Structure 1
Amino acid sequence: MALAFITGGGTGLGAEMARCAQAQGWDVAILDLCRDAARPILDELPDVRFFEGDVAREDTVVSALDGLGAVPDLLVNNAGILKFGSLLETSFDEFARILNVNLTGAVNVSRLVAARMIARGHGSIVNITSTAGIATSPGVNAYAGAKRGLAAMTEMMAQEWGPLGVRVNSVAPGMIQGGMSRSIYADRAVADRRASAVPSRRLGAEADIANAVLWLASEEASYINGHELVVDGGLTKATMSMIPRD
Structure 2
Amino acid sequence: MPAPDLSGRRALVTGASRGIGAAVADALAAAGAAVVLHGRDAALLTERAQAIAAAHGARTTTLTADLADPAAVERLAGEAWDALGGLDILVNNAGITFPALAHDQTLAEWDTTMAVNLRAPALLAARLGARMADAGGGSIVNVSSLAGLRALTEHYAYCASKAALQMATKVLALELGPRGVRANSVCPTVVLTEMGQQVWGEQAKAAPMLARIPTGRFGAPAEVAAAVVWLCSDAAGMVNGAELALDGGFSVA
Hey, what does 1:50 align to over in structure 2? 62
| Corresponding residue number in structure 2 for 1:11 | 18
Stretch of structure 1 that moved more, 17-26 or 167-176: 17-26
Kindly indicate whether the alpha-carbon contact (under 8 Å) linking 1:179 and 1:206 is maintained by their aligned counterparts in 2. Answer: no
Residue 178 of structure 1, aligned match among 178, 186, 193? 193
What residue identity is the alignment partner of 1:224? Answer: V
Q: Secondary structure at the match of 2:13?
A: strand
On the 8 A contact 2:36/2:80 being kept in 1, the answer is no
Identify the match of residue 34 of structure 1 among 28, 34, 41. Answer: 41
Deviation at 1:43, TM superposition (A): 4.2
Equivalences for residues 55-204 of structure 1 within 5 A: 55=67, 56-57=70-71, 58-187=73-202, 191=206, 194-204=209-219
2:235 corresponds to which letter in structure 1?
E
More moved, 193-202 vs 23-32: 193-202
Q: CA separation in 2, counterparts of 1:132 and 1:35?
A: 30
After superposition, the Cα gap between the structure-2 partners of 1:135 and 1:124, relative to the gap in structure 1 and judged at 3 Å, is: same
Counterparts in 2 of 1:215 and 1:180: CA distance versus 1, 3 Å: same
| Gap runs ≥5 in structure 2 | 1-7, 54-58
Alignment correspondent of 2:225: 210
CA RMSD, aligned part only?
A: 1.9
Question: Percent identity of the aligned residues?
Answer: 31
Give me the whole-angstrom Cα distance separating, in 1, the residues matched to 2:89 and 2:112: 26
- Confirm or deny: 8 A CA contact 2:37 2:45 kept in the other structure: no
Question: Take 1:43 and 1:27, find their aligned partners in 2: how far apart are those partners?
Answer: 13
Change (3 A) 1:91 1:193: closer
Cα deviations by residue, 1:134-163 (Å, 9 ceiling, x for unpaired): 111221121111100010011111001111
Give, in angstroms, the shift of residue 93 of structure 1: 2.1
- Separation (CA, whole Å) in 2 of partners of 1:157 and 1:134: 18
1:241 maps to none
Which runs of 5 or more residues in structure 1 are unaligned? 239-246
For residue 145 of structure 1, what is the amino acid of its counterpart?
A
Shift of 1:34: 2.3
Q: More displaced, 50-59 or 94-103? A: 50-59
CA shift, 1:179, in A, is 4.8
AA matched with 2:27 = C
Give the secondary structure class of the aligned counterpart of 2:142: strand
Whether the aligned pair in 2 keeps the contact of 1:54 and 1:61 (CA below 8 Å) is no
Whether 1:225 aligns to 2:237 is: no
- Give the C-alpha shift of residue 189 in structure 1: 6.3
Provide the secondary structure at the position in 1 that maps to 2:102: coil
The verdict on how the C-alpha distance between 1:94 and 1:196 changes in structure 2, with shifts beyond 3 A counting, is closer
Aligned residues, how many? 238
TM-score normalised according to structure 1 size: 0.89
Report how far residue 87 of structure 1 moved. 1.8
Post-superposition Cα deviations, 1:198-225, rounded to whole Å, max 9, x if no partner, equal: 1112211111100111111111110010
Aligned partner of residue 229 in structure 1, secondary structure: strand
Alignment partners' CA distance in 1, 2:186 and 2:223: 11
Q: In the alignment, which residue of structure 2 is the partner of 1:243?
A: none
Q: Write the distance in 1 (CA, Å) between the matches of 2:96 and 2:185.
A: 17
Q: Secondary structure at the match of 2:235?
A: helix
Structure 2 CA distance for aligned equivalents of residues 207 and 78 of structure 1: 14
